[in-house]
Amino acid sequence: MRKIILPLFLIMVIIGLGSYSGFAEGIDAEYTDPIIERAKVLEITDVEDEEIQNDFFIEDMMVTVEILTGDYKGQQFEIIHSLTGSLAYDIIVEPGDKVLVTVEDMGEGSVEVYISEYARDTYIYIIFAIFVILLILLGGFKGLKTILTLILTIFMVLKVLLPGLLAGYNPILLTIGVSFAVTLITILTVGGINTKSYAAIIGVLGGVFVSGLIAYIVGSKVSLTGMSSNEAMMLMYIPQGVNFDFRGLLFAGIIMGALGAVMDVGMSIASSMEEITTANPSISTKSLIKSGLNVGKDIMGTMANTLILAYTGSTIPLLLLFTAYDDPLLRIINLDLIATEIIRALAGSIGLILCIPLTAVMAGILREKGMKKDEKEKII
């Protein structure tokens, strides 16, 4: 384990230094976020309703909040909180609710406070704690290694991938590099340094590479813009002023999205084949590969559906709109947003499917080479 932890720690330190120095150079250092603090709603008083332009109706209320964090901790403010009638944007509060407030110091002792969001992070931390506890209880030592790799993945995304993209680095090359590092360290940490891990790594990287290649070729042929979402369009107006390669961001997202599922399949195939070999050491390489492929067929049936359903689930409101207005299939399937999701799902599924024979064949070949090496050592 020490052989794994030490290189892992060194890699994280090196990557961390690079993310804070090289990547940060492309980010405007003068940009600062507004001050966000926690607050508690103490009291709500209704204010007379008023009409404004275009007969757009707003309900105003006087809300008393107490700041719970920061320089203004313990201070109470009375603020006007407005509701527009839109469930997507309104923040409906009750006495006792925890919220996030934006505090702006206007100078000369004048402070403006307004409610900016619900405080949801407490429950997120609780769910994450349950997740970690279950990993440790059911996974034991491997559960701890899983947590370690999870932390690494989050670190790579937040401190390497995102800063690198903001600094203007090529999104596809950067994502491939991050995916390679995450795959290598995750599988070696969880599975150990052995033929099982080597086979899984080859299968996963091969599957993800094919997935990204298919997405790139087909996406270019069908003229995907990479700007099918509101978030992508908002990137055009960020204060850093980065000229993003939006199509590259799209393909990078497809690669990252496929990586998790493909890694799961690759490790499952390699691990099952190792168990087969342990149970039957005399099994031939051909029979071992065949067994791995049979296991892969069962995994393939469910995992492909998992990817398709995951991508479909994210577009259910849009699909409902198309259904409600009875749009023809020809128009729906040719929309940039829908075509993007279809190619994302199918490219990821193809990578997943190809990962199975790649992993199975490599596991068989590496096992046979290992047997020949052992025989040579016995002779010597």
Q: Which of 51-55, 269-273, 325-329, 370-374 has the lowest mean pLDDT?
A: 51-55
What pLDDT, on the 0 to 100 scale, is given for residue 372?
63
Residue 16 placed within a domain: no
Alpha carbons 245 and 168: distance in angstroms, whole number: 9
What pLDDT, on the 0 to 100 scale, is given for residue 328?
84
Q: Are residues 193 and 101 in the same domain?
A: no
Alpha carbons 62 and 81: distance in angstroms, whole number: 6
Q: Nearest CA to 197 among 183, 208, 187, 207? A: 187
Q: Are residues 102 and 160 in the same domain?
A: no
Alpha carbons 323 and 301: distance in angstroms, whole number: 28
Q: Are residues 193 and 68 in the same domain?
A: no
Q: Domain ends where: 76, 100, 118? A: 118
HEC profile of the chain: CHHHHHHHHHHHHHHHHHHHHCHHHHCCCCCCCCEEEEEEEEEEEECCCEECHHHCEEEEEEEEEEECCCCCCCCEEEEEEEECCCCCCCCCCCCCCEEEEEEEEEECCEEEEEEEEECCHHHHHHHHHHHHHHHHHHHHHHHHHHHHHHHHHHHHHHHHHHHHHHCCCCHHHHHHHHHHHHHHHHHHHHHCCCHHHHHHHHHHHHHHHHHHHHHHHHHHHCCCCCCCCHHHHHHHHCCCCCCCCHHHHHHHHHHHHHHHHHHHHHHHHHHHHHHHHHHCCCCCHHHHHHHHHHHHHHHHHHHHHHHHHHHHHCCHHHHHHHHHCCCCHHHHHHCHHHHHHHHHHHHHHHHHHHHHHHHHHHHHHHHHHHHHHHHHHHHC
Range of the domain at 112: 35-118
Q: Are residues 110 and 156 in the same domain?
A: no
Tokens (6 digits) for 255? 């690669």
What pLDDT, on the 0 to 100 scale, is given for residue 133?
92
Tokens (6 digits) for 212? 């990204």
Alpha carbons 275 and 363: distance in angstroms, whole number: 12
Q: Domain ends where: 118, 140, 166? A: 118
CATH number of the structural domain spanning residue 48 = 2.40.50
pLDDT, average across residues 103-116:
82
Alpha carbons 100 and 343: distance in angstroms, whole number: 38
Alpha carbons 91 and 18: distance in angstroms, whole number: 40
Residue 138 placed within a domain: no
Q: Are residues 77 and 182 in the same domain?
A: no
Across the chain, what does the average pLDDT equal? 79
Residue 131 placed within a domain: no
Q: Domain ends where: 98, 118, 138? A: 118
Does residue 274 contact residue 196 with C-beta atoms inside 8 Å? yes
Residue 127 placed within a domain: no
Q: Nearest CA to 145 among 14, 326, 248, 5? A: 5
pTM, 2 dp: 0.70
Residue 139 placed within a domain: no
Residue 30 placed within a domain: no
pLDDT, average across residues 111-124:
88
Q: Are residues 254 and 368 in the same domain?
A: yes
The answer to whether residue 101 scores a pLDDT higher than 70 is yes
Q: Are residues 63 and 157 in the same domain?
A: no
Residue 67 placed within a domain: yes
Q: Are residues 248 and 309 in the same domain?
A: yes
Residue 135 placed within a domain: no
| CA 202 to mean position of chain CA atoms | 22
Tokens (6 digits) for 140? 């034991």
Q: Are residues 264 and 348 in the same domain?
A: yes
- Our count of domains for the chain comes to 2
- Percent of the chain at pLDDT exceeding 90: 10
The answer to whether residue 8 scores a pLDDT higher than 90 is no
Banded pLDDT at 89 (limits 50, 70, 90): confident
Residue type, 228: S
Length reported for the chain: 380
Alpha carbons 271 and 277: distance in angstroms, whole number: 10
Does residue 299 contact residue 265 with C-beta atoms inside 8 Å? yes
What are the pLDDT digits (tens) for 194-229?
Answer: 888 899 999 999 988 888 888 888 888 888 877 777
Alpha carbons 254 and 210: distance in angstroms, whole number: 11
Q: Are residues 251 and 293 in the same domain?
A: yes
Residue type, 110: S
